[in-house]
Structure 1
Amino acid sequence: MPGPSPGGIRTVPAIVRDTGRAGGRATHSRRVLAGPADGGYRRHQPAPSRQRPDRRPAQQTQAQGRGRGVRLPAAATAHAHRVRHPAVLAAAFGPETTGETTYVEQMLDRLTRGMLVLLDTGFDGYPLLLQLRSTGAEFLCRSGARRIPLITKRLPDGSYLSTFGMGKLPVRIVEAWITVTYADGTVRREQWRLATSLTDHTRYPAHELVTLYHERWQAETTYFSIKATMLDGRILRSHRPQEVEQEVYALLTVYQALIRITTDATAGRPGLDPDRISFTIALETARDQVTTAAGIIPREVTLVSTIGHAILDNLLPARRRQRAKARTRKNPTSKYSKNSLQHPATAQHYTLETEVTVMEDGLKTRSKR
């Protein structure tokens, strides 16, 4: 992609980032933000050139047939604890040549006191975390093996206090063995090291933080809902940076509108587990509304619309076991290595066990997946 638009990297418009209703009805005392944890990657196929074939620039000719890379929203997705489809708080996107941490910095002004931000590995740098803390928000991030924290005080729950940035940023470190047992009997173990600004181990026990961080993957449902459910695997069609920007904003706007509808629909059922909401039902019902133009002007205006009623009439099972999605490498130019049997080839249910302990010998380096 040639580069960002003249206006530079922007966060999403107000209609997209408005979480006053979509993510504001928190059932937990602290609003959890799964992100700006991880950015999505998407290829877009340039539209056919309007120039004569013999006058196409070399850059366009090279791009034909293989598409170009664009880093899609490194999104901060706001949600209450255990919300299946989080609302989008902010998003920044642009060329893949720009690092994700740069996009994250564009969204920090959306953070406020009382928020807890969950971040993936690679976002544990001292400058970024210090900027994050200046907003009043707290963080819980995964830290890599290259960092060797100095233990300043061991805590009863198995965690310990340390500092980042030559003693400038106090943190608490939680290290644990994670054991995943799949339905086919396969067992996988890996080491986790989490760094958090929540230093009070009595209010925030280590095991609860590990469990909470595991739910960071609920943010991935946002990317899945957009890339798989809404786009159905299609690539972006736009040819110019401004058109790509418009297309991404359109996707985020539709997604946010559907999330607001699901929130309104569940507002009248306080005990309803948000995990039972089907985004696919909401999307398909909305498509039917557009196609048939039925009920566009209802006789009575209520929060529970036609889409809301369809959601409530088609709830998912009350108790759903954890399920791991199959990991496959579909893009031949991906920077990640092949699956190599590290993850199941098919979707499976699994159980998760954690053992909080100090890794006295440090963490092993993680291979690219």
Structure 2
Amino acid sequence: MTGRAERRRRLLPARAVVYFVLALCLFSSSDSAGPPGYRAVLRTLTDKLRHLPGGLVQHLPTSSALTRARQRLGDKPLQALFERRCGAQATPTTPGAFAFGLRLVAWDGTALDVPDTPENAATFGFTGRDGTNKSGNPQVRLMALIECGTHAVIDAAFDSIARFSEHKLARRLLASLRPDILLLADRNFASHELWGLVEATGCHLAWRIKKNLVLPPLWVLPDGSYVSVMPTPAEGQRLGNARFQGRTPTGLPDGHLVRIIDYTVTVRPQHGPVQTEKFRLATSLLDHRQAPARQLAQLYHQRWEIENGFAELKNRLRGAGFILRSKTPELICQEIYALLTVYQALCALKVHAAEQGEIDPDRISFITTVRLARLTTAGQTAANPQILCAARREVVQELLNDRLPPRRDRRCQRLKKPPRNTFEAKRRDEPRPPSRVSYSLKVTRNPGHAPSPAETP
């Protein structure tokens, strides 16, 4: 389908290389000291095969041979595999997956660190307005559309962090939006153009917007919300100037008809002062009887499920602090598609276990899912279908036995942890120290040391 089939019989056929790349992502953080090497992953993957009678796998290829096999494969087969596996997984009975008859979905962006090679730096770039090294490594911007109830990846797009913003990448995900979806987003996405593009797909929206936007009410609804217009950029400037000059804007502004919900959230911690924060929500659900304001306000916190999904993808699966291993842009794309495919398969396993236990998928531990997948993958390589079904049932039962307690109410501050060391960060424009140096050693005498009898002439 992608034109990557081998033309002659090889020790590493294309199909085997696909499994190998997926295994690289599954075992990416199995060692706290860093990702395991190519041969270590392949040794784990073929352990049962190497002990079969007849020795189907006698010798492990070298790391360079595995790298060349990845280069021959390219990224298209993994892209096709991800596009086949991605999609929503919740059913109408899945807890927390639907509201007002609509599927709850959120989108947001994140960044993935890649190795600092000249090819990756030229293709993906660095964070910062001038493109210089504001981050330690080149980065890829990943934009994902995630189902809130299951954390399944409905669609994803990624590209250079220096040249593509979240708004640009969001346009690539519009084809995956459907009329039965309620899309949640943070306040950085609210714009007249992007709102119109999403609304044109038939999808419903519930986005947080900035509190300083001028949105005069057209009429107030019984639940306290009001209908207004999200103005075009020109109309927004006119409304802002009128407000600054103390005048009341005249005429109905051009823009999208929206419903505005202003509300406050009061946090009462067990220890410490009470804190209150104001929020403003814009939605395309104009009927207050279908979607009451209080229920929409309570629903918006589901947007944070995408942050939990990114934490599972980047910290639990890939490993916190680890960067992707590929040295070239094509292999970076191959690795990201493989990482998303493995994550989607783990989410599917979580959802299947939750359905068997008739519980919320949030009660299934993702860390336990990853560990069980790693433990059983090597044993399933040489297994027959009956053994595979039995192993799957055992994994599901283990996940149900190790279920998480119900979530408690908590508040997480957006604070950055201090680094483990206090060394000054090296910028990319700083010259590198010389790689070849010479050392000399000389033992010096303490000036106050009295000579021993053996040293006396």
TM-score range, shorter chain: 0.7 to 0.9
- Cα distance in 2, alignment partners of residues 40 and 167 from structure 1: 33
- Per-residue CA deviation, residues 124-176 of structure 1 (Å, 9 max, x unaligned), is 11111111111111000011134110100111111100012343311000011
Shift of 1:95: 1.3
Greater share of strand: 1
1:262-273 pair list within 5 angstroms: 262-270=350-358, 272-273=359-360
The corresponding residue for 1:39 is: 109
TM-score by length of 1: 0.74
Aligned AA for 1:33? V
Shift of 1:40: 0.8
The corresponding residue for 2:269 is: 182
- Cα distance in 2, alignment partners of residues 281 and 210 from structure 1: 33
The corresponding residue for 2:156 is: 91
Check if 1:324 corresponds to 2:411. Answer: yes
The corresponding residue for 1:306 is: 394
1:97-116 pair list within 5 angstroms: 97=162, 98-116=164-182
Aligned AA for 1:273? D
Long gaps (5+) in structure 1 = 50-58, 333-369
Aligned AA for 2:179? R
Shift of 1:241: 2.1
Q: Is the 8 A contact 1:282 1:308 kept in 2?
A: no
Matched residue of 1:93: which SS? strand
Greater share of helix: 2
- Per-residue CA deviation, residues 202-256 of structure 1 (Å, 9 max, x unaligned), is 1211111111101211111110001110122112222222222111111111110
Q: Is the 8 A contact 1:282 1:310 kept in 2?
A: no
CA 1:176–1:296: 2 relative to 1, 3 Å:
farther
The corresponding residue for 1:223 is: 310
- Cα distance in 2, alignment partners of residues 127 and 204 from structure 1: 24
1:127-276 pair list within 5 angstroms: 127-165=193-231, 166-233=253-320, 234-270=322-358, 272-276=359-363
- Per-residue CA deviation, residues 299-352 of structure 1 (Å, 9 max, x unaligned), is 2637953332221111111x33123345432599xxxxxxxxxxxxxxxxxxxx
Long gaps (5+) in structure 2 = 1-73, 120-124, 127-131, 232-252, 420-457
Aligned AA for 2:147? A
The corresponding residue for 2:138 is: 68
CA 1:11–1:89: 2 relative to 1, 3 Å:
farther
CA 1:6–1:247: 2 relative to 1, 3 Å:
closer
Aligned AA for 1:77? I
- Cα distance in 2, alignment partners of residues 117 and 207 from structure 1: 18
Matched residue of 2:276: which SS? strand
Aligned AA for 2:345? A
Q: Is the 8 A contact 1:47 1:237 kept in 2?
A: no
CA 1:123–1:48: 2 relative to 1, 3 Å:
closer
The corresponding residue for 1:349 is: none
- Cα distance in 1, alignment partners of residues 254 and 418 from structure 2: 42
My pick for the range that moved more, 107-116 or 184-193, is 184-193
TM-score by length of 2: 0.61
Matched residue of 2:268: which SS? strand
Selected match of 2:82 from 4, 8, 13: 13
CA 1:296–1:11: 2 relative to 1, 3 Å:
closer
The corresponding residue for 2:60 is: none
Matched residue of 1:204: which SS? coil
Q: Is the 8 A contact 1:114 1:137 kept in 2?
A: yes
Aligned AA for 2:83? A
Check if 1:23 corresponds to 2:90. Answer: yes
CA 1:47–1:311: 2 relative to 1, 3 Å:
farther
Matched residue of 1:92: which SS? strand
CA 1:302–1:25: 2 relative to 1, 3 Å:
farther
Aligned AA for 1:258? L
- Cα distance in 1, alignment partners of residues 409 and 225 from structure 2: 26
C-alpha RMSD of matched pairs (Å): 3.0
The corresponding residue for 1:338 is: none
- Cα distance in 2, alignment partners of residues 187 and 231 from structure 1: 37
Q: Is the 8 A contact 2:225 2:259 kept in 1?
A: yes
Q: Is the 8 A contact 1:175 1:194 kept in 2?
A: yes
